Amino acid sequence: KKLVFATNNQHKTAEIRSALTGQYEVLNLEDIGCLTDIPETANTFEGNATLKSSYVVENFNLDCFADDSGLEIKALNNEPGVYSARYSGSRDSVENMQLVLEKLKGNPNRNARFKTVISLMQNGQNHLFEGLVEGTIREELSGSKGFGYDPIFQPNGYDITFAEMEMSEKNKISHRAIALKKMIDFLTK
């Protein structure tokens, strides 16, 4: 069985493929020959996930799902949120993490959460699935696995960051894995 995943982010593709090994073959935007960077102009995760999935339905006539995700930090009024990919103005994740650490400097409230919203477009209908994982922001970067803000995010109940986990371990607890599981449950019921 095939699923089209409307993403240009190779790390997201790798995580979803790893989570669905043996269950589904996952095709991303590159695989279906979609070379556009789909505009993400909404100001909610739901809105942006839906823009990405709808783009593929309209332009390729394929059912698909899309993931919009980001980091919400309590002490920063839930920033960077939907602006996570380009918080510092660049897509460079080290620059984005440095900006977060600078803004949180001296702040004892390190609470944060990762959020994913998946939009699944099926037979012209939009189905939304959400995943959340709570944690804290470290004082410094630690670890080199994963992507984005993983080196500064420590999930509650662990003493390592997402970037210090194997992908299989992150996939047991991550925001993306939780949203994905809800979508797979929906597809298989």
Nearer to ligand ITT, 22 or 145 (CB): 145
Of the candidates 86, 75, 147, the one whose C-alpha atom is nearest the C-alpha of residue 113 is 75
Stretch that binds ligand ITT, among 17-25, 66-74, 122-130, 177-185 (CB under 6 A): 66-74
- Residue 17 labeled ligand binder: no
> Using the rule CB under 6 A, which residue among 27, 150, 165, 177 binds ligand ITT?
150
Q: Which two tokens stand for residue 171?
A: 């996939």
Alpha-carbon gap, residue 137 to 71, rounded angstroms:
10
Residues between 89 and 118 with contacts to ligand ITT, criterion CB under 6 A:
93, 114
Strand partners, 111: 136
Given 19, 26, 70, 171, the residue binding ligand ITT (CB under 6 A): 70
Question: Least distance (Å) from ligand ITT to the CB of residue 101?
Answer: 14
63 is in an annotated binding site: no
Q: Using CB under 6 A, which of 113, 149, 155, 165 touches ligand ITT?
A: 149
Which residue, 106 or 142, is less far from ligand ITT as judged by CB?
142
The residues annotated with a catalytic role in the active site are 68
Per CB under 6 A, the segment of 7-15, 98-106, 123-131, 135-143 that binds ligand ITT is 7-15
Looking only at residues 28 through 57 of this chain, which bind ligand ITT when binding is defined by CB under 6 A? 40
Beta bridge partners of 133: 114
Q: Does residue 72 interact with ligand ITT by CB under 6 A?
A: no
Beta strands in 6-152 (DSSP E): 25-28, 64-73, 79-80, 111-122, 125-137
156 annotated to bind ligand: no
E strand map for the chain:
2-5, 25-28, 64-73, 79-80, 111-122, 125-137, 153-155
Q: How far apart are CA 150 and CA 159, in angstroms?
A: 13
Sign of CA dihedral 73, 28, 169, 102: negative
User: Binding site: residue ranges?
Assistant: 7-12, 68-69, 147-150, 170, 175-176
List binding-site positions for substrate: 7-12, 69, 147-150, 170, 175-176
